[in-house]
């Protein structure tokens, strides 16, 4: 796969994760308001590569404020892209998440020609779900006991998808 391009929105820049981003990304990931939904990072995260994942650092000006990644299912009969993200809690509630998602979705739809995108937050993550809905993601269904939290409790996930024609720009 070729190097991922930088992606720009009105206030955010998505740039491929670089080694000098690792400590800041790890600090954001370990924030209690992020790790609640994302689990504890592996000891080598984010330096370890995730096969098939295209990973971006999210910047607002010169400040690294978050992380977003996507992966592809390339079987032509099931082709789609999935995404995940987190932002520094200091930037929650200010539209940065919505803008970050829109920038990546526009790239996946316009440049890479995906007709369908998916995301799968925990059912209880109502703030994230509202953000995804505002971009056009629709609820597909609840995936029961989908992921285990750091205490060993199984949590339900909400599968959401976005068809290119439903994308709210």
Helices and strands: H and E segment counts in the chain: 4, 8
Are 121 and 140 spatial neighbours (Cβ–Cβ below 8 Å)? no
d(C-alpha 134, C-alpha 152), whole Å: 31
The structure tokens listed for 51 are 């096969």
Residues 163, 145, 78, 117: is their CA dihedral positive or negative? positive
The predicted pLDDT at position 165 comes to: 96
State the Cα–Cα distance between residues 117 and 68, nearest whole angstrom: 14
> What pLDDT sits at residue 102?
98
Q: Which residues pair with 60 in a beta bridge?
A: 63
* pLDDT tens for each residue of 32-76: 999 999 888 888 899 888 889 999 999 999 999 999 999 999 999
Given a cut of 70, the residues of the chain with pLDDT beneath it are 1-2
State the average pLDDT for the chain: 94
Q: Walk me through the domains of the chain, giving residue ranges and CATH numbers.
A: 7-119 (3.40.630.30)
Cα separation, 138 vs 22, whole angstroms: 32
- CB-hemisphere CA count at 13 Å for 159? 8
């Amino acid at each position: 796969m070729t190097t991922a391009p930088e992606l720009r929105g009105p206030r955010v820049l998505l740039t491929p994760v670089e080694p000098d981003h690792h400590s800041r990304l790890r600090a954001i990931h370990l924030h209690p308001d992020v790790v609640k939904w994302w689990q504890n990072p592996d000891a080598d995260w984010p330096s370890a590569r995730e096969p098939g994942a295209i990973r971006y650092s999210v910047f607002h000006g010169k400040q690294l404020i978050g992380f977003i990644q996507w992966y592809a299912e390339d079987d032509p009969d099931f082709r789609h892209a999935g995404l995940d993200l987190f932002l520094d809690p200091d930037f929650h509630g200010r539209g940065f998440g919505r803008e970050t998602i829109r920038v990546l979705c526009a790239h996946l739809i316009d440049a890479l020609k995906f007709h369908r995108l998916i995301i799968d937050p925990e059912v209880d993550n109502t703030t994230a779900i509202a953000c995804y809905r505002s971009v056009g993601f629709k609820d597909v269904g609840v995936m029961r006991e989908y992921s285990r939290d750091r205490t060993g409790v199984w949590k339900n996930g909400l599968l959401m998808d976005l068809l290119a024609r439903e994308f709210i720009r």
